[in-house]
Amino acid sequence: MFKLMKRCYFILSLIIFSCSSGQEKEDYENAVILETIVLPKIINETSGLEILDNQFITHNDSGGDPSLYMFNEAGEIIQTVEIINQSNNDWEDITADENYIFIADTGNNFGNRDNLNIIKVKTSDFSVEGKIDISYEDQQTFLPRPKHKYDAEALFLIEDKIAILSKDRSELFTDLYLIDKQSNSKQVLESKITYNVNSLITGGDYNKDMSLLALVSYNSKGSQFLILFEDFNLETLAEKKFRKLKIPLERAQIEAIKIIDDKTFWITSEDEGVGSPYMYKIKVE
């Protein structure tokens, strides 16, 4: 039942988005799909992607079990780890350093959640170190509504910060927020920069060695995009321009991305209620 409600909400949001966005026509380069991997149905709502110890890690989003799923490049589940004493309110992305896995329980479709948080899980034994509760400085109301800017589905680490990027249904922008990853106390988020991506951001990854930020998003027509910020760092946020490419997939709901190199990326897509979830290897020229 919950999956049907989620699917209906996605369709409704596309209709509202299409009727009210007023998007200008844009021309895009196309990314190329190099490989397609069918994923098990147990991760049919795969919503984040990380690599740890040469294994992929993903999770389902709202309504799923509070579990992490490890799988190999053939799409075979190797291990399932339940995150004890946690709830999957709406897990939307995942990232990791050498000590911790960070899970973004930040999905907020209707803008009415007051329990947003980042879960800190030890990489050594998958026990929970704590949670970082977050709220938005400028949010004045928690009444449910379809168009707002207080949803976030992209999470990545940069320097000593956790960064999240908003999924803004009201303006089609994305706001960057920074979180102190060392603290377990509640943090009130203030936007550091706003980018006019003209789409809804659903996943992100950052590679510090390449200074590359990669995002995935979609528009009112259901088109899927790869957005690349090169030479990305916290000192020059206002100077950053991005490259936006169309991902040639139909009937997809891409929600996660992992950088392979500066031209190649892994992305995952939910099953959309019509088949299986997939992982794709894509490339840009």
Domain definitions of the chain by residue range: 2-283
- What is the DSSP pairing of strand 67-71 with strand 77-82? antiparallel
Domain 2-283 has CATH 3.40.50.970: no
pLDDT in tens, 187-238: 999 999 999 999 999 999 999 999 999 999 999 999 999 999 999 999 999 9
Which pLDDT belongs to residue 26?
74
How many residues are recorded in the chain? Answer: 285
pLDDT of 3 over the 70 cut: no
Which pLDDT belongs to residue 21?
47
How high does pLDDT run on average in the chain? 92
